[in-house]
């Protein structure tokens, strides 16, 4: 049976952020993920988790910035990660260290590392070695802290010139990194937009044990999974049949109210 985590950055956004924990718990979720915790005190977030019987299963390292205040504001200023960006290594390291400190307080096992926007005039290929070097460093830090770091292929329509877009490229990076603490976050919404053939990709990559987290949304609007071109009931059966026991993050923008749109989840859990 699939295990669904509410994404509190996209879901329940009719509520202030700190109120979304209770709303997710009221709707029956026992796990949450969100993009960034850095605008909040880690202990306040941990109290919301504990108070609502929730576990935190994923969040992102800062997309940029060297101080906590800069890290908290970087996404809104357009930053999309530094793992593959030349001249940004100290920022990348500071971000991973800040994320690991939050992960400890939040008792969160995995952190997504955004790789960044390819600078104008630079070839994507030329950034691979730097990305591998940074992932090795982050993988060692994460392993010391008992965590995993993940990389996620993201579509170019939502994030033009983003460094990592394809599942095979993510797995090539892992081939080079060769560390069990560095894994893939496979977002089926992005996978469908960039590559299609999602079921085949699941059959290819889930058995490798390198996919530590899945995410879902309807395609193309990124609404509920029962809207759009992907047949999620079929994919959930396949994910179960392939023995995946990790979390599936519900990373979608509810079309008309988060709780009202959860029928797809209730049907999946009843199937």
Ligand X SMILES: O=C(O)[C@@H](O)C(=O)CO
Length of the chain: 271
Q: How far is the CB of 271 from ligand X (least distance, A)?
A: 25
Binding mask 112-131 for ligand X (x = CB under 6 A): x-------------------
Scanning residues 246 to 265, which ones bind Mg ion (CB under 5 A)?
251
How would you classify residue 68: left for phi > 0, otherwise alpha for psi between -120 and 50, otherwise beta?
Answer: alpha
Report residue 213: phi and psi, to 5°.
Answer: -160, 140
**Residue 251 is among the residues annotated as catalytic for this protein:** yes
171, 208 Cβ separation under 8 angstroms = yes
Scanning residues 211 to 240, which ones bind ligand X (CB under 6 A)?
215
Indicate the residue among 112 and 171 with the shorter CB distance to ligand X: 112
Q: How far is the CB of 15 from Mg ion (least distance, A)?
A: 21
Indicate the residue among 46 and 163 with the shorter CB distance to Mg ion: 163
Residue nearest to ligand X (CB): 187
Indicate the residue among 130 and 150 with the shorter CB distance to ligand X: 150
**Residue 229 is among the residues annotated as catalytic for this protein:** no
Q: How far apart are alpha carbons 203 and 226 in whole angstroms?
A: 22
Q: How far apart are alpha carbons 17 and 98 in whole angstroms?
A: 20
Indicate the residue among 100 and 114 with the shorter CB distance to Mg ion: 114
Q: Which stretch binds Mg ion (CB under 5 A): 81-89, 184-192, 194-202, 218-226?
A: 184-192
Residue 60, contacted partner among ligand X, Mg ion, none, CB below 5-8 A by kind? ligand X
Q: How far apart are alpha carbons 210 and 163 in whole angstroms?
A: 20
Q: Which contiguous run of DSSP H or E holds residue 90?
A: helix 89-106
Tokens 């749109």 map to which residue? 261
Residue among 33, 148, 152, 224 flagged as catalytic: 152
Residue 112, contacted partner among Mg ion, ligand X, none, CB below 5-8 A by kind? ligand X
Scanning residues 4 to 43, which ones bind ligand X (CB under 6 A)?
35
Which residue in the set 5, 154, 170, 212 belongs to the binding site for ligand X (CB under 6 A)? 154
Q: How far is the CB of 184 from Mg ion (least distance, A)?
A: 11
Q: Largest Cα–Cα distance in the chain?
A: 51
Q: How far apart are the first and last CA of the chain?
A: 9
116, 134 Cβ separation under 8 angstroms = no
Which residue in the set 33, 148, 187, 224 belongs to the binding site for Mg ion (CB under 5 A)? 187
**Two structure tokens written together for 110:** 């995995």
**Two structure tokens written together for 168:** 């095979």
215 binds Mg ion (CB under 5 A): yes
Q: Which contiguous run of DSSP H or E holds residue 114?
A: none
251 binds ligand X (CB under 6 A): yes
Indicate the residue among 2 and 63 with the shorter CB distance to ligand X: 63
Residue among 91, 148, 224, 251 flagged as catalytic: 251
Q: What angle do CA 225, 227, 230 make, to 5 degrees?
A: 65
What residues are labeled active site?
152, 251
Residues within the interface to Mg ion (CB under 5 A): 187, 215, 251
């Amino acid at each position: 049976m699939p295990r669904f985590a509410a994404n509190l950055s996209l879901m329940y956004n009719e509520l202030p952020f700190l109120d979304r924990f209770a709303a997710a718990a009221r709707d029956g979720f026992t796990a949450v993920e969100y993009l960034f915790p850095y605008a909040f005190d880690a202990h306040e977030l941990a109290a919301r988790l504990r108070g609502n019987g929730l576990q935190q299963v994923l969040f992102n390292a800062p997309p940029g910035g060297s101080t906590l205040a800069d890290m908290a504001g970087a996404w809104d200023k357009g930053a999309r990660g530094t793992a593959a960006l030349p001249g940004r290594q100290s920022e990348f390291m500071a971000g991973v260290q800040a994320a690991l400190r939050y992960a400890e307080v939040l008792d969160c096992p995995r952190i997504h590392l955004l790789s960044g926007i390819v600078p104008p005039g630079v070839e994507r290929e030329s950034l691979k070695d730097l990305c591998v070097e940074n992932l090795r460093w982050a993988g060692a830090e994460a392993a010391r802290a008992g965590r995993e770091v993940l990389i996620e292929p993201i579509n170019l329509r939502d994030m033009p010139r983003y460094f990592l877009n394809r599942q095979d490229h993510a797995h090539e990076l892992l081939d080079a990194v060769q560390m069990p603490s560095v894994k893939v976050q496979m977002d089926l919404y992005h996978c469908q937009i960039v590559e299609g053939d999602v079921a085949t990709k699941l059959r290819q990559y889930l058995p490798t044990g390198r996919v530590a987290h899945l995410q879902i949304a309807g395609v193309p609007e990124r609404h509920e999974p029962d809207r759009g071109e992907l047949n999620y009931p079929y994919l959930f059966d396949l994910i179960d049949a392939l023995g995946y026991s990790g979390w599936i993050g519900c990373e979608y923008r509810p079309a008309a109210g988060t709780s009202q749109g959860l029928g797809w989840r209730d049907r999946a859990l009843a199937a």
